[in-house]
Amino acid sequence: MSTTEETSAAKDQSQDRQKRMIAGHFDKLAESEERGEKCVYTYVPGNLTELLLSFDVNPVLPEINALQSGMRGLSKEYITLAEKEGHSEDVCTYVKCDIGMKRAGNIGPTGKRLPNPNLLLLSYTGCFTFLKWFELLREEYDCPVTMLHVPYQADGKITDEMRKYVVDQMKKKTIPALEKMTGKKFDIDRLRELLARSAKAEDDLVAVLESAKNKPSPIDAYFGGVYYIGPIFTAFRGTEDAVAYYRELREEVEERVRLGKGPIIPSGELKEEKYRLVVEGPPNWTSFRKFWDMFTDEGAVVVASTYTKVGGVYDDGFRHDPDRPLESLAEYCLGCYTNLNLPARVDKLAGYVKDYEADGLLINSVKSCNSFSAGQLMILREVENRTGVPGGFIESDLVDPRYFSAANIKNRLESYFQMIEQKRAQGVTR
């Protein structure tokens, strides 16, 4: 999405607030070095935002920088710079965008320079690419590195041993690294305050996402959902800003439910809901507006998506808990979507189809994202078998515009909606 597209798209009040929050964060990062503030580079899934904020540390999230660069038309240049250095076409394009951005001066998506990290904090949650990405960043920056190793949910559940393993690492590695970097002692009471605010925001976020069970759905839980999750998945979880944003968002959505309205879309408001979809996989960022329009032009609304769970599966009931601060941080890391095994993902998607009365499951298979794309055809077949709804399959990429074929995707979507219509004509119901 270009800057022009962003400014011309319809927005509600909460989205304007969200955009101001994100822009303000980048402004704060740009000024952090001259103010003597410390910055930690970390990732979205399993991030320890509340712990960082308890030390007055600014989080910098490379994936967010990459997707923002993609939406603003900057990622192609950055990816080209990285590939000239020998990075393969098959490498995650978030990584190449990040490396290329560093080569181009580390100018962030809002046009201001990002600070160098004082610490690289890797919270590993199911994405092997994160490990290699951090190895590359370690070569770029002269700063310490610490890793929080999060066990994979191979059996689909969190055990006491897994939780203890993560908590012990926080006590022995993560917190000491933050204390050494900042010169401050860990304040567990401050962490509790931040976690209490996180839980409030998480309650409101879940209410917003579950509002899509209404007919018509007042939200789009994929395209619109990426705006909803922005503050809570990045630098704002635990802040008063996040609490205020999600309270306002929930009030707006509840009013739309009361009025029987559909979701806000870039062109204004969706007037007719013809198809209700569950979507698996991340969106394409370089043609985000065009991608979204392909759905709204057909009256298709995404009522549930797995991408909006990549930074936390709150609709399963998890909340950050101030009475169990380190334990709940551990459970958060362990429970992120990319840390779930394939049977757990199938269960979740089949549950979404049923609970949200969806007409079908659509997979957007992202070329360079193995954490999502591995096993997706198996997932598609299993969900079709369990639910009886038709599955669809399209392909794109995260931030590489070379792998977004608008004509191909549009043709596949049109064929998919025809398939849904044929099922309806045959009397096949959810």
DSSP state of 395: E
Average pLDDT score over residue span 185-189: 98
Q: What's residue 64's pLDDT?
A: 92
DSSP state of 298: T
For residue 20, tell me if it sits in a domain: yes
Asked which of 315-319, 397-401, 411-415, 425-429 is least confident by mean pLDDT, the reply is 425-429
Partners of 269 in the β-ladder? 264
Question: Above 50 in pLDDT, residue 7?
Answer: no
Residue 17 buriedness (CB in 10 A; 0-12 / 13-18 / 19+): middle
Q: What's residue 142's pLDDT?
A: 87
Residue 424 buriedness (CB in 10 A; 0-12 / 13-18 / 19+): exposed
Per residue in 326-349, pLDDT tens? 999 999 999 999 899 999 999 999
For residue 91, tell me if it sits in a domain: yes
For residue 215, tell me if it sits in a domain: no
Domain holding 158: CATH number?
Answer: 3.40.50.11890
Q: What's residue 200's pLDDT?
A: 98
DSSP state of 356: T
For residue 253, tell me if it sits in a domain: no
Question: Above 70 in pLDDT, residue 10?
Answer: no
Residues 137-171 as b or e (16 or more Cβ within 10 Å = b): beeebebebbbbebbebeeeebeeebbeebbebbe
Q: What's residue 368's pLDDT?
A: 85
High-pLDDT (> 70) share of the chain, %:
97
For residue 29, tell me if it sits in a domain: yes
> How many independent structural domains does the chain possess?
1
* E-strand stretches of 268-406: 268-269, 275-280, 300-305, 360-366, 391-396
Categorise residue 413: left if φ over 0, alpha if ψ from -120 to 50, beta otherwise: alpha
**Confidence class for position 220, pLDDT limits 50, 70, 90:** very high
State the DSSP H helix or E strand holding residue 98, giving kind and residue range, or none if neither. Answer: helix 93-103
Tokens standing for residue 184: 């401050």
Q: What's residue 429's pLDDT?
A: 53
Tokens standing for residue 39: 């910055």
**137 backbone dihedrals φ, ψ, rounded to 5°:** -65, -35
Per residue in 241-270, pLDDT tens? 999 999 999 999 999 999 999 999 998 999
Q: What angle do CA 54, 250, 351 make, to 5 degrees?
A: 95
Question: Above 70 in pLDDT, residue 165?
Answer: yes
What is the torsional sign of CA 277, 279, 285, 291?
negative
**Confidence class for position 12, pLDDT limits 50, 70, 90:** confident
For residue 279, tell me if it sits in a domain: no
For residue 266, tell me if it sits in a domain: no
Per residue in 133-150, pLDDT tens? 999 999 999 899 999 999
Q: What is the largest CA-CA distance in the chain?
A: 68
Q: What's residue 209's pLDDT?
A: 98
High-pLDDT (> 90) share of the chain, %:
83
Average pLDDT score over residue span 378-382: 97
Q: What angle do CA 375, 377, 381 make, to 5 degrees?
A: 120
Decide if 245 contacts 21 (C-beta within 8 A): yes
Q: What's residue 9's pLDDT?
A: 62
Per residue in 276-301, pLDDT tens? 999 999 999 999 999 999 999 999 99
**Which residue has better confidence, 9 or 417?**
417
Domain that holds residue 59: 3-184
For residue 281, tell me if it sits in a domain: no
Question: Above 70 in pLDDT, residue 11?
Answer: no
Partners of 364 in the β-ladder? 394
Kindly report the average pLDDT of the chain as a whole number: 93
Per residue in 397-420, pLDDT tens? 999 999 999 999 999 999 999 999
